[in-house]
Amino acid sequence: MRKLGMSYKEIKSALNVPRSTLSDWFNKREWSDEIKKRLIASAQKDHAIRLVDLNKVRGQHLARTYESAREEARKEFEFLKYDPLFISGIMLYWSGGVESPKQGVKLTSSNPEMLRLYVEFLSGSCHIPIERIRAYVLTYPEIEEKTSRAYWSQKTGLPWEQFTKSSVAVGRQSKRRLRWGICTVSVSSTYLKQKILEWIKLLPKELLSKEYYANM
């Protein structure tokens, strides 16, 4: 059944064999590992993140749409939870992202590697089209705005045209100023925000579960 490409969940359902037992049987078999990779890749493709225009949704419809987002997140989580990029992206957002459900998906940092990884999470794990990912820079009067924007464009991998107008910080102490300013990467979707908030709830419990590592 495994060689036919069936997942542990499918085999467990058919034979009532615990997933931990299946993992013990197959986790050191290279051919089984290849099947696992194909299943994950196929699932991620089938469960690409759906962006919904919530400006067209109001009242009770909005509440139902939010619940639909959370339900989708729970289903997608089963296929994404073993993806290192997905785990990294959720942890980054959990530690520093904007949590308000009414705002879009925003993460601000002065660390270029962190934001590059986050952009890869959005485009790779979440399948967000690159043209939907925006960024803007908080810079300082003595830094040329174009130079700062070019730096962050190169470091994050986002095209220059994806950056909106930069802001200039004034009145701050010079010792606290950063050479290239601070960059914010965002996706304007409260639907995606609902999914990310749901994933943040699910991931810690999963990582603290012994069964999670038995099924890896």
Asked if 70 and 109 sit in the same domain, the reply is: yes
User: Of 117, 125, 120, 118, whose CA–CA distance to 45 is shortest?
Assistant: 125
Q: How many helices (H) and strands (E) does the chain have?
A: 9, 4
Q: How confident is the model at residue 186, as a pLDDT? A: 95
Asked if 127 and 185 sit in the same domain, the reply is: yes
Asked if 82 and 158 sit in the same domain, the reply is: yes
Domain interval for residue 22: 1-46
Considering only residues 51 and 184, tell me which one the structure prediction assigns the higher pLDDT.
Answer: 184
- pLDDT (tens digit per residue) in 10-42: 888 889 888 888 888 888 888 888 888 787 777
Tally of domains in the chain = 2
Asked if 115 and 197 sit in the same domain, the reply is: yes
Measured CA to CA, the distance from residue 78 to residue 198 in angstroms comes to 13
Is the pLDDT score of 162 beyond 70?
yes
Q: How confident is the model at residue 177, as a pLDDT? A: 66
Asked if 34 and 55 sit in the same domain, the reply is: no
Asked if 187 and 197 sit in the same domain, the reply is: yes
Asked if 104 and 38 sit in the same domain, the reply is: no
Supply the mean pLDDT for the chain.
85
Is the pLDDT score of 190 beyond 90?
no
Q: How confident is the model at residue 134, as a pLDDT? A: 95
Asked if 8 and 93 sit in the same domain, the reply is: no
Task: Look at the block and give the residue holding tokens 């908080």.
Answer: 138
What is the average pLDDT across 57-85?
82
Q: Which of 46, 65, 82 is the last residue of a domain?
A: 46
